[in-house]
Amino acid sequence: DVKVTQSSRYLVKRTGEKVFLECVQDMDHENMFWYRQDPGLGLRLIYFSYDVKMKEKGDIPEGYSVSREKKERFSLILESASTNQTSMYLCASSLWGSYNEQFFGPGTRLTVL
Amino acid sequence: GENVEQHPSTLSVQEGDSAVIKCTYSDSASNYFPWYKQELGKGPQLIIDIRSNVGEKKDQRIAVTLNKTAKHFSLHITETQPEDSAVYFCASLGGSNYKLTFGKGTLLTVNP
């Protein structure tokens, strides 16, 4: 079974802190994604990566950056956390190509105080 | 960019009844339409998908229909069971690769 793990289920940070969210997948998938999920807004793509060191902006990249140094790991970075970044963050991975199932991790609930 | 509208936002049915969730999309180049189910405390999971060269696809109690002319697609769940209770998301793969655009989700509650 594909497994996508996220470093924390719950995280509480203070405004202005630098925050790292880590995601690891164990199925040698080329594509990895970061989404945020907010009530009434569904899932919105922040960034995705189709290869090591490659990244593409999604629909809401402002305030975020990403890092993919190894194929299995995709990190989301909040350079200076703000209260409007309080949200559920979901990581996903898929095989290379557009039509492949995305496998999601359980999510990280981030609260910025 | 692609815009996906999903209705209804909440749906409550009695066990054994059918449930239908509808989505419309804006990009006529969209050609792949998956549906994801998210149970409480978990990430979304693919339950069925359809490509634009197919009008309908069925997998046991769930089916998806696609009308490319009208740019809408629907999820049908028959003989609903309490374990079908979850949030369901439709999605569309528009003209740009990799980027799925998701609907806002439907909270389905199946009452025993």
Interval B21-64: pLDDT, tens: 999 999 888 989 999 999 999 999 999 999 888 899 999 999 99
Separation CA A27–CA A95 (nearest Å): 9
pLDDT band at B1 (very low <50, low <70, confident <90, very high): confident
Cβ-nearest to B32 among A31, A43, A99: A99
Shortest alpha-carbon distance between residue A18 and chain B (Å)? 25
Q: B83, exposed or middle or buried, with CB in 10 Å at 0-12, 13-18, 19+?
A: exposed
Q: Write the pLDDT tens digit of every residue in A10-66.
A: 999 999 999 999 999 999 999 999 999 999 899 999 999 999 989 999 999 999 999
CA A11/CA A105 separation, integer angstroms: 15
Averaged pLDDT for residues B92-109: 86
- pLDDT for B98 equals 66
Chain B CB contacts of A42 below 8 Å: 6, 89, 102-105
B interface test, pick of A6, A102, A108 with most B CB neighbours within 10 Å: A102
Q: Where is average pLDDT lowest: A75-89, B50-64, B94-108? A: B94-108
Res. B97: pLDDT tops 90 = no
A32, A43, A49, best to mutate vs chain B, most B CBs in 10 Å? A43
